Amino acid sequence: MNRLKSVFISTWITLLFVGSGRALWQLATDAKATEWYWVLLALLPGALFFVWLLVADVARTAHATRVVVVLSLVALAGLMLTGGDAAEPWFWTGLVGAGGSGLYEWWYSRFGERSSALLVVGEKLPPLAFERPDGTLLETDALGKPMLMIFYRGNWCPLCMAQVKEIAGQYRELADRGVEIMLISPQPHAETASLAKRFDAPMTFLVDAANRMAEKLGIKAQAGLPAGLEALGYDSDTVMPTVVITDASGVILFADLTDNYRVRPEPDVFLEVFSRAGI
């Protein structure tokens, strides 16, 4: 199923931009091709949504995608009411626009119900080992500090990058409480090192090589990488966005296993968890 999702997202994004360009060209060359206005309404909001993700540091998009779905359905209804004999506008509006946005909202974005027998509030976090960008090992058992662990998919994920930026914005308050901020991804060491250089903050960027710890914790996303990004050096398997907070003894205070990769905890939640624990 994840492989199918991987192919879907890459294909759909490509079709959104290709179809939007096709509609603009058709409208520019044929003033009577009014059905292509519906095509543009069905596709352009989706294309602009992904541009917005890339440039605006957006960590959560639960409401924005619903707007995309509604506009695509309005476009489909408009095409039905005004008619049109050509098959191509129906393909772009119905299949790519309404169909694609519906699949993205209710199928692709959702992991289904998640749980992990090892990530239970009140239980001790099992021993975990990660690699720093330089390849040296970090073992969580040896820290003896409260931990905020953010498992993110990789530099390729704009929502993950926005979440990392949020954490960087509050690192000082977390550091003053003695919290070890750990940002963990299965991506290549070079990508993690590149990300670490972007932030002037004492956060620990780590690599979960081959997703070993994610698999141990039950948060691995097999074939979760959008198809085609393997060419940039990423592995096809990734991790489901997950947040774990522990006290200094390793007892889990908070665990967020979101069932939708576009829905993540607000950063103030982390401070509240530590405050309730007297940290």
118 within domain boundaries? no
Report pLDDT for 201: 79
- Please give the residue range of the domain that contains residue 103: 2-108
Rounded CA gap, 32 and 43, in Å? Answer: 20
Report pLDDT for 163: 95
In this predicted structure, the answer to whether residue 14 has a pLDDT above a threshold of 80 is yes
Say if residue 104 is in the same domain as residue 133.
no
Give the pLDDT confidence of 234-279 residue by residue, as tens digits. Answer: 999 999 999 999 999 999 999 999 999 999 999 899 999 999 999 9
Q: What's the mean per-residue pLDDT of the chain?
A: 95
Give the pLDDT confidence of 113-141 residue by residue, as tens digits. Answer: 898 999 999 999 999 999 999 999 999 99
Say if residue 7 is in the same domain as residue 51.
yes
pTM: 0.93
In this predicted structure, the answer to whether residue 206 has a pLDDT above a threshold of 80 is yes
78 within domain boundaries? yes
3 state SS of 33: coil
Q: Which of 48, 73, 108 finishes a domain?
A: 108
Say if residue 103 is in the same domain as residue 148.
no
Say if residue 69 is in the same domain as residue 158.
no
115 within domain boundaries? no
Task: With cut-offs at 50, 70 and 90, classify the pLDDT of residue 32.
Answer: confident
What is the number of helices (H) and of strands (E) in the chain? Answer: 10, 9
Report pLDDT for 86: 87
Residue bearing the bigger pLDDT, 248 or 83: 248
Structural domains in the chain (count): 2
Say if residue 103 is in the same domain as residue 149.
no
Report which residue type is found at 218.
G
Report pLDDT for 200: 74
Buried b (16+ CB within 10 A) or exposed e, 244-260: bbbbeebebbbbbbbeb
CATH number reported for the structural domain that contains residue 242 in this entry: 3.40.30.10
Residue 112: φ, ψ to 5°: 85, 180
